[in-house]
Amino acid sequence: MEFHNLLIENKERIQYIIINRESKLNALNRDTLAELHVAFDAAFKNPAVGGIIITGTGAKAFVAGADISEFANLNVDEGTALARKGQIEVFNLIANGNKPVIAAINGFALGGGLELAMSCHIRIASETAKMGLPEVTLGLIPGYGGTQRLAQLIGKGKALEMILTADMITAVEAHQYGLVTHVVCPEDLLIKAEELLQKILLRAPLALAAAINSVNAGFTDGVDGYGIEIAQFGKCFGTKDFKEGVAAFLEKRKAAFKGE
Ligand code: COA
């Protein structure tokens, strides 16, 4: 598929997925969401990709939300379908991915933009970033998982305050809330994202996938997170990476994992 709203760049085992609608502050229209679905699906299946960094073009925005111009005339059924499709095809796909995804928040991350960042496994921000869920100013609520993931990440009280006031918070506040794990100057954002991901990519790939699955399980209704952890822990013993990890420790050398 040819992408019109995304740039894909590969740097060794890191794949960059860059939202490229700078004139609209990288707002997520239908085409961009469809492209994100294809790009993430392909990255998760591509053995040459170890992990993904998602960011936005330009200095101003990561993603300034869903494209408001596209949903002005939707009715109840269409609005419901929009949220369902977006959640399943993009936001849950990323959250449940088998490879680590880091959101490098380079500017405004609002509405669907913050929901996109929250579906990633790790978030880091430029000190110029601003984050918020302004949907109630439009007569809406977050529909791409925002009411759930924000409360999981920062707690119900702060999440409700952010959602009900629609206030934007600064990167420093987001760090204090635990919404992002690092705040750096703009020029260091991708350097920090790569540094983090490079470190993660030294670890055993199947164990990374198992850890993501296990942590997510604890936040999934009706799923026994502790039970999933036991099952995933057991599965690791059947991998070549486990044998390599233990052998490398005993032989006092660095492990060379193959994801097998
Ligand atoms: N959907 C569609 N277009 C958007 C958009 C969105 N979510 N966010 C920004 N844009 C467009 C603007 O319409 C404008 O387009 P134009 O130049 O063709 O008029 C362009 O991006 C630049 O935005 P602008 O509002 O002029 O920039 P600003 O610096 O004055 O304000 C924001 C920046 C982020 C505060 C403001 O754009 C904004 O509030 N955006 C909407 C945020 C939002 O409510 N998101 C949640 C949607 S559910």
pLDDT digits (tens, 9 = 90+) for 74-103: 999 999 999 999 999 999 999 999 999 999
The residue whose CA is least distant from atom 39 of ligand 1 is: 64
pTM of the model: 0.97
Measured CA to CA in angstroms, residue 54 lies from 18, 27, 239 at distances of: 6, 14, 29
Are residues 108 and 25 in contact, defined by beta-carbon separation less than 8 angstroms?
Answer: yes
Q: Identify the residues whose C-beta falls under 6 Å from ligand 1.
A: 24-25, 27, 64-69, 108, 110-112, 134-135, 138
Task: Please give the distance, rounded to the nearest whole angstrom, from the Cα atom of residue 113 to the centre of ligand 1.
Answer: 12
Task: Please give the distance, rounded to the nearest whole angstrom, from the Cα atom of residue 212 to the centre of ligand 1.
Answer: 33
Residue among 211, 214, 212, 204 at smallest CA distance from 240? 204
Task: Please give the distance, rounded to the nearest whole angstrom, from the Cα atom of residue 24 to the centre of ligand 1.
Answer: 6
pLDDT digits (tens, 9 = 90+) for 154-191: 999 999 999 999 999 999 999 999 999 999 999 999 99
The residue whose CA is least distant from atom 40 of ligand 1 is: 64
Residue among 99, 123, 95 at smallest CA distance from 193? 123
- Predicted pLDDT of residue 191: 98
Ligand 1: residue of 19, 20, 21, 24 to mutate (most ligand atoms within 8 A of CB) is: 24
The upper half-sphere exposure of residue 73, i.e. CA atoms within 13 Å in the direction of its Cβ, equals 1
pLDDT digits (tens, 9 = 90+) for 237-251: 999 999 999 999 999
Task: Please give the distance, rounded to the nearest whole angstrom, from the Cα atom of residue 256 to the centre of ligand 1.
Answer: 46
Alpha-carbon gap, residue 138 to 140, rounded angstroms: 5
Are residues 174 and 128 in contact, defined by beta-carbon separation less than 8 angstroms?
Answer: no
Alpha-carbon gap, residue 86 to 90, rounded angstroms: 6
Give the ligand 1 atom nearest the CA of 111.
46
Contacts (Cβ under 8 Å, ≥6 apart) of 49: 10, 13, 14, 15, 43, 99
- 145-176 in b/e form (b: 16+ CB < 10 A) is bbbbbbbebbeeebbeebbeeeebbebebbbe
Contacts (Cβ under 8 Å, ≥6 apart) of 29: 5, 21, 66, 67, 69, 70
Give the ligand 1 atom nearest the CA of 140.
48
